[in-house]
Amino acid sequence: MNDPDNPIVDMLTVRRDLYLVMSLLLADERVDEVQNVVVWTRVFHENEVRRLMLWVATAMRGLLDLLDREKDTFSKQNCGEYWATFPKDSEKPLALTFRQACNSVIHAKEILPYRTPKRDSIENVNRVYTNRITVRGTNQGKTTRAQLDIIKFVQIAYGLTKSFEEDRYANG
């Protein structure tokens, strides 16, 4: 029987998928150089990044919700930038917290595995894949935008998964 106080998420599976999404984003520049494979980028790459990010963000939010507030050193860590109202030229971006990044991905209208210019349509964007994911959504009727730094996100997520292993095996 499973212990109801422990997560049902397999930490190694989450780490594998964190590795995969980070690898997809960081390796794509080289893949893009292979002419016969370039068409796969938009078909497979973008869908796979979205799928992995949705799963990982959901798993991370579940783990955050299981933490005692005193032990939660992860929720407020910075992993990008967030605009509560977008576009708004006078608004400077806020720090994107890890919890907010997970929420943004879970409730996203669009997950774009590339950095997008402010005012261009997605169809006209020269897609350059970097370590950034653009997440567009809405919150209370306002358009929001988050720019998630995948390296920072993965580092925080790894620490979170590690904390559950340490708690589980600390007395055993």
Q: How many angstroms separate the CA atoms of 34 and 39, rounded? A: 10
Q: How many angstroms separate the CA atoms of 130 and 59, rounded? A: 23
The residues with which 95 forms a beta bridge, in sequence order, are 81
Is the pLDDT at 115 greater than 50? The verdict is: yes
Q: Assign 87 to helix, strand or coil.
A: coil
Taking a C-beta distance cutoff of 8 angstroms, is the pair 82, 100 a contact? yes
What Rg, from alpha-carbon coordinates, does the chain have? Answer: 17
**Average pLDDT estimate for 57-86:** 93
pLDDT of residue 85: 86
Q: Which residue has the higher pLDDT, 170 or 85?
A: 85
Backbone angles phi, psi at 135, to 5 degrees: -120, 120
Q: pLDDT grade, residue 145 (50/70/90)?
A: very high
**Model confidence over 15-63: pLDDT tens digits?**
999 998 888 888 766 666 666 666 776 678 788 989 999 999 999 999 9
DSSP codes joined into one string, 34-70: -GGGHHHIIIIIHHHHHHHHHHHHHHHHHHHHHS-GG
Tokens of 99: 């919890």
> Is the backbone peptide bond immediately before 87 cis, with ω within 30 degrees of 0?
yes
Is the pLDDT at 101 greater than 80? The verdict is: yes
Q: How many angstroms separate the CA atoms of 156 and 79, rounded? A: 8
Is the pLDDT at 129 greater than 50? The verdict is: yes
What lies within 8 Å, CB to CB, of 48 at 6+ separation is: 20, 21, 24
Q: pLDDT grade, residue 91 (50/70/90)?
A: confident
